[in-house]
Amino acid sequence: MNFNIAEKFISINGEGVLAGQLAVFIRFCGCNLECSYCDTRWANTMKPPVEVLDEHQIYRYIKETGIKNVTLTGGEPLIQEGISVLLEKLSSDKSLRVEIETNGSIPVVQFFSIENRPSFTIDYKLPGSGMEHEMYMLNFRHADMNDTVKFVVSDEADLAKAKQVIEKFELQGRTNIYISPVFGKIQPEALVDFLKENKLNNVNMQLQLHKIIWDPDKKGV
Ligand code: SF4
């Protein structure tokens, strides 16, 4: 299978349970959503430069980097035709830890039967994204401790909705939960205050490390 790759690079994981660790990133072209705050819009088109690689070439690139953590991102990785072929290939190498960042609109359970399956970081798109109606709700029932549910918060209304979703799907203790601010739209202190006021245990507040370390618009980091 051939895949359209917008960029591939080594950096540190900016988010999630492996935040701060080295990872090799594969960013796919194209997305089925249009979030208000999207910072990778440039990768969502099929306009050049696009590198076309098959699953063997992607695997070879990953192995050549010598990095064990692999993050498949986008765009939206799970809309790529033949993505299960790549996931099976990568999962068959037990020395790799493969994580997929997905936007919440694509059923992830279809990939759960893959042996040594990758972990999924599943966004719940809150009202501020303009894309909440696209969420595939069963994803939030299926996520387990191998996975993460992530909320990116634009404002107070998003915070309130995130709490509702956490409670409705009983996410605490069943999966990893991360909540982070849209860069420049809501102060991180507001998130901490919200966690304290609502006694939200087992919820991790996080800042996107790469936006702090590098220019927020810098690519390839
Ligand atoms: S799902 Fe991700 S890549 Fe797609 S529009 Fe939203 S933020 Fe951008």
SS3 at position 101: strand
Q: Confirm whether 204 is domain-assigned.
A: yes
Q: Confirm whether 93 is domain-assigned.
A: yes
Tell whether ligand 1 has an atom less than 6 A from the beta carbon of residue 103: yes
Q: What share of the chain is helix, strand, coil (3-state, %, to 5)?
A: 30, 25, 45
Q: Which of 25, 33, 45 to mutate to test the pocket of ligand 1 (most atoms within 8 A of CB)?
A: 33
Query: What residues have CB less than 8 Å from 70, skipping those under 6 apart?
Result: 23, 24, 26, 62, 90, 96, 97, 98, 99
Tell whether ligand 1 has an atom less than 6 A from the beta carbon of residue 35: yes
The range of the structural domain enclosing residue 193 comes to 2-213
Which residue, judged by its Cα, is nearest atom 6 of ligand 1? Answer: 35
Q: How far is the CA of 154 from the centre of ligand 1 (A)?
A: 14
Calculate ∠ Cα 161-133-32, nearest 5°.
Answer: 120
Quote the tokens at residue 79: 């809309």
Tell whether ligand 1 has an atom less than 6 A from the beta carbon of residue 40: yes
pLDDT string in tens for the chain (221-residue length)? 999 999 999 999 988 889 899 999 999 999 999 999 998 888 887 676 899 999 999 999 999 999 999 999 999 999 999 999 999 999 999 999 999 999 999 999 999 999 999 999 999 999 999 999 999 999 999 999 999 999 999 999 999 999 999 999 999 999 999 999 998 889 999 999 999 999 999 999 998 777 777 777 777 77
SS3 at position 41: helix
Q: Looking at residue 102, what is its pLDDT? A: 97
Q: Confirm whether 113 is domain-assigned.
A: yes
Tell whether ligand 1 has an atom less than 6 A from the beta carbon of residue 118: no
Q: Confirm whether 219 is domain-assigned.
A: no
Q: Confirm whether 114 is domain-assigned.
A: yes
Q: Looking at residue 112, what is its pLDDT? A: 96
Among the atoms of ligand 1, which is closest to the Cα of residue 34? Answer: 5
CATH number of the domain to which 189 belongs: 3.20.20.70
Tell whether ligand 1 has an atom less than 6 A from the beta carbon of residue 77: no
Q: Confirm whether 218 is domain-assigned.
A: no
Q: How far is the CA of 75 from the centre of ligand 1 (A)?
A: 6
Q: How far is the CA of 59 from the centre of ligand 1 (A)?
A: 25
Q: Confirm whether 98 is domain-assigned.
A: yes
Q: Looking at residue 46, what is its pLDDT? A: 63
Q: φ, ψ for residue 64 (rounded to 5)?
A: -65, -25
Q: Looking at residue 107, what is its pLDDT? A: 98
Report the domain count for the chain.
Answer: 1
Global pTM reads 0.94
Tell whether ligand 1 has an atom less than 6 A from the beta carbon of residue 71: no
Q: Confirm whether 44 is domain-assigned.
A: yes
Q: Looking at residue 217, what is its pLDDT? A: 72
